[in-house]
Amino acid sequence: MKDNKKVVYWLFTGCFLIFIMVIVGGITRLTHSGLSISDYKLISGTIPPMNEQEWIAEFEHYKQFPEYQKLHYHFTLEDFKDIYFWEWIHRVIGRFIGIVFIVPFVYFLFTRQLSRSTIKKSLVLLFLGGFQGFLGWYMVKSGLVDIPAVSHYRLAMHLTTAFLTFAYTLWVALDLIYPKRKEINKKFRNIVRAGLLILIVQIIWGAFVAGLDAGWIHNTWPTMNEGKWIHETVFIEQNPMWKNFVEGKSGVQFVHRYLAYIVVGFIFYIWYRARKMDLSVLQKRGINSLLILVFIQFLLGVFTLILAVPVWLGVAHQVGAFFLLTAMTYTLHRFSR
């Protein structure tokens, strides 16, 4: 029989590793470690410096780039080792994910344990994984030229692709676990789809906030600053005005704040609409998990902001987004054919 339990375990292993990757990526970002390794060596880069001479050589190489010259010129070798670790482990996990996806896929393919449909979906997964790796280096490259900071657009692409790769991997696994599904209300399914789209947009603006370090300003809630709901700088940082909402720190935080209210409201609407429907147990669990997780995520966002983004809380907020996307993907799958 094709598409057996081994295939499902393989896909869930990939989901778990992407989850770990996102956590480590969040720590890497919040500790400003992402530019510590300034070149990309697919094979040899897996092994870190092994002795003092190699560490000194790596540190000297790091000194040639803007981050050291403009921000970390006071760093000692020990300081460099701290930030090097997080970027190195982030890249190693990325390579390991590639092996976990490719090797079992080839094995399942040659042993004919995959249906034609799953083969097609697996090829999409392999493309997404390779594209994610490319985006990682493309992002790092943006911070090695003049400005010692990665492009927040490239960061958003990198993070969002990781989330989407996870969601699609989970979807493929769910297809195998639940080949038959209950007949559903198409209008309600489209509402859940809209909720997923809004959540993805919110994740993108969350990446903008992270990329611009916009969480370190306006650290009050519910108002943005000094009792004002919309601080004046939201509209004067960039010209033309629309750039404030994609490139200005205040404007990006403003969008992320108010999108959070929309996400909460929309998920509450999904839950409210579902109350009067004849749902299966699994569908009810999906809806209820959405409601619980969105409120937890909202609280995490508020505390992350007012406490000025401590690393542990920033990572928790990112993990919350991950779980919320998981619940939304699962719920949509329960209401899809």
pLDDT, tens only, 66-86 = 888 888 888 889 989 988 999
Tell me: do 26 and 157 sit in the same domain: yes
Residue 228: pLDDT band by 50, 70, 90 thresholds? low
According to DSSP, residue 149 is labeled S
Q: Write down the pTM of the prediction.
A: 0.90
**What's the whole-number mean pLDDT along residues 8-22?**
94
Q: Residues near 24 by Cβ (< 8 Å), separated by ≥ 6?
A: 86, 89, 90, 93
Tell me: do 223 and 304 sit in the same domain: yes
**What's the whole-number mean pLDDT along residues 44-69?**
86
Does residue 94 have a pLDDT over 80?
yes
- Of 35-39, 71-75, 302-306, least confident by mean pLDDT is 35-39
Tell me: do 41 and 142 sit in the same domain: yes
Does residue 9 have a pLDDT over 90?
yes
Query: What values do phi and psi take at 228, rounded to 5?
Result: -100, 135
Which of 179, 198, 225 delimits the end of a domain? 179
Tell me: do 77 and 187 sit in the same domain: no
Tell me: do 271 and 321 sit in the same domain: yes
pLDDT of residue 1: 47
Residues spanned by the domain of 154: 1-179
Tell me: do 172 and 190 sit in the same domain: no
Q: Look at the chain and report how many structural domains it folds into.
A: 2
Among the residues of the chain, which ranges form H helices? 5-30, 52-62, 66, 77-110, 116-141, 152-177, 186-211, 244-247, 249-274, 281-306, 311-334
Tell me: do 24 and 162 sit in the same domain: yes
Does residue 41 have a pLDDT over 90?
no
Does residue 230 have a pLDDT over 70?
no
Which of 145, 179, 213 delimits the end of a domain? 179
Tell me: do 142 and 212 sit in the same domain: no
Tell me: do 201 and 337 sit in the same domain: yes
Across the chain, mean pLDDT equals 88
Pairwise CA distance, residues 276 & 225, whole Å? 41
Structure tokens at 87: 């970027």
Percent of the chain whose pLDDT exceeds 70? 93
